[in-house]
A and B are shown apart, each in its own frame.
Chain A
Amino acid sequence: MNKFIEIAGRIGAQRHLVAIRDGFVAAMPLIIIGAFAVLFQNFPPIGKFDFVGILNNIFGEGNWQVTTGTIWNGTFAILGMLIAFTIAYNLAKSYEVDGLSAGLIATASYIMLVPATPTDWGLQMAWLGTQGLFVAIILALVLTELFRLLVNSKFTIKMPEGVPEGVVKSFKSLLPATVILLGVGIFQAVWAALIDISVFEMIFKIIQEPLQALGNTLPAALLIAFLNHILWFFGLHGTNILGGVIEPIYLPLIEENIAAFKAGMSAVDVPNIVTKPFLDSFVFMGGSGTTIALLIAIFIVIQREKNHPYRQVAKLGAPASFFNINEPVIFGLPIVLNPVMLIPFVLVPVTLTVISYFALWLGIVPRTVAFVPWTTPPILSGYLVTGGSIRGILLQLVNLFVAIVIYIPFVMAGVRALRQKTEGQS
């Protein structure tokens, strides 16, 4: 068990994975703004209130959509390019070398490799976005390592004493930057001479596409749910540890959905079922373990003893739980290393993943076409991620009901175990 914690800890603290995860965290506000812009553009009427219709009447259809469309183009649609910068920046920072320079070098190299449009000297937007995510990650990691080695070597321009620090800094990265960009340029020339398709297409086809296809399956969703909860059971931040691996695979999947939704496809027909909003809003309600259901189960089981320790934790944890933050419940109850709670804590999310998967697969509930912050309260999140569908809320309610039913017997068992323990002591 100690071995397990040690390995998990090593993954959670691994420099490159941390840089990737924090790179995505940095881009998250832009991702969410872009996704919301598309959601506004396609929002269904609520009763008589037709938001899109009203705006169409005022500004004319196709005019106001320019606003939301361009927001999308500048945010989620160029995620690959943004990520190249943020990951390189974070990795360089972790080595305590110049983050801005590293970020700029990675971005410049990324653009150098992006295929141009055939006739009019443009960049192909598709490769600036999530389709280029893996190229972005590889470039950011490899080039920043190279940059660090060069900056820390003797291969820099030395300035005499008394030269202002800003000047010293800009010259210090000049030579390494030149070497790296020259290298990328030569690489691109050789590649273009030998291979017909671009680096981007190659990496997309052989790495990213297969991983995404795998990610969009029920077993992959179950594996993530399972690993995340086992980690939390040992008191380790599951999503934090897995983040660096999960984000690059799952962000492109939701992007494909949003892009299809933007182009006018109905939320039922968009291609991907398993996405991060899928797990966040249908499974991790109240946080990992769907603990909002656990709190409700506690309030149902323990009604008379107002001062019961479980009830106190539930009361303490309730406000944060609405925003899917549940550390008080996990450490206070505790769920951590509590054998009674292990089974439902893993069983509930796994069951809900299966239910939700089939509900979306059968088309009973629309698929996810929006990206909301993971702190969005349940019910609201179910409505928003399905592009404004009541069915999203219904699925959440069904899931909550199932989760509460599973939790109740274990809460009872926990109460009994606790009573025996205190009676044994007195």
Chain B
Amino acid sequence: MNIALVCSAGMSTSMLVKKMREAAETRGMDATIDAYPESQLKSSLDELDVVLIGPQVRFLEKNIRALVEPKGIKVDIIDSMAYGMIQGDKVLEQAIQLKNA
């Protein structure tokens, strides 16, 4: 599955991406996970399943929903504690739940 993480500059979220990729690997899951600054999300929408928004830019939720939901992409805000503790597995689980919801 394809997961995009959105934050302000794509920097803080990239740490989480690394952990999520590791978590996906231990699960033997085939997942593409990338972090984008909000301004670049628009040009990276192809074949995405889930967009997860960093809690510090959660005010973008409405705009992002309007942008991606018509394409059938699911959107949620990353659980802020899991985000802070960089718990890749927990956030990956959140993404899977969201996709299957």
Contacts and interface: CB of A to CB of B under 8 A. Distances in A.
Interface of A: 5, 8-10, 12-13, 18, 22, 25, 90, 93, 232, 235-237, 239-241, 312-313, 316, 320, 325, 327-334, 336, 375
Nearest to A320: B15
A243 to B, nearest CB: 9
Contact of B11 (A8, A10, A312, A375): A375
Given A9-B59, A10-B59, A329 B84 contact: yes
A327 B84 contact: yes
17 contacts: A8-B59, A13-B60, A235-B80, A236-B57, A236-B59, A237-B7, A237-B56, A237-B57, A312-B85, A328-B15, A328-B86, A329-B84, A330-B84, A331-B56, A332-B84, A332-B85, A334-B84
B58 interface: yes
Nearest to A10: B59
A22 B39 contact: yes
B81 interface: yes
Nearest to A93: B42
A240 B57 contact: yes
Contact of A25 (B39, B42, B63, B84): B39
What band does the interface of chain B fall in when counting residues whose beta carbon is under 8 Å from A? 20 to 34
B54 interface: yes
A236 B56 contact: yes
B54 A313 contact: no
Interface of B: 7-8, 11-12, 15, 39, 42, 54-60, 62-63, 80-81, 83-86
4 tightest A-B contacts by CB? A332-B84, A9-B59, A331-B84, A327-B12
A235 B85 contact: no
A71 B43 CA distance: 31
Contacts of A325: 11-12
Contact of B60 (A5, A12, A312): A12
Nearest to B40: A22
Contacts of B8: 237, 239-240
Contacts of A320: 12, 15
Most buried by B among A8, A13, A90: A13
B19 to A, nearest CB: 10
Nearest to A232: B56
Contacts of B57: 12, 236-237, 240
Contacts of A316: 85-86
Contacts of A90: 39
Contacts of A237: 7-8, 56-57
A313 B85 CA distance: 7
A316 B19 CA distance: 12
A18 B39 CA distance: 9
Contacts of B60: 12-13
B70 to A, nearest CB: 13
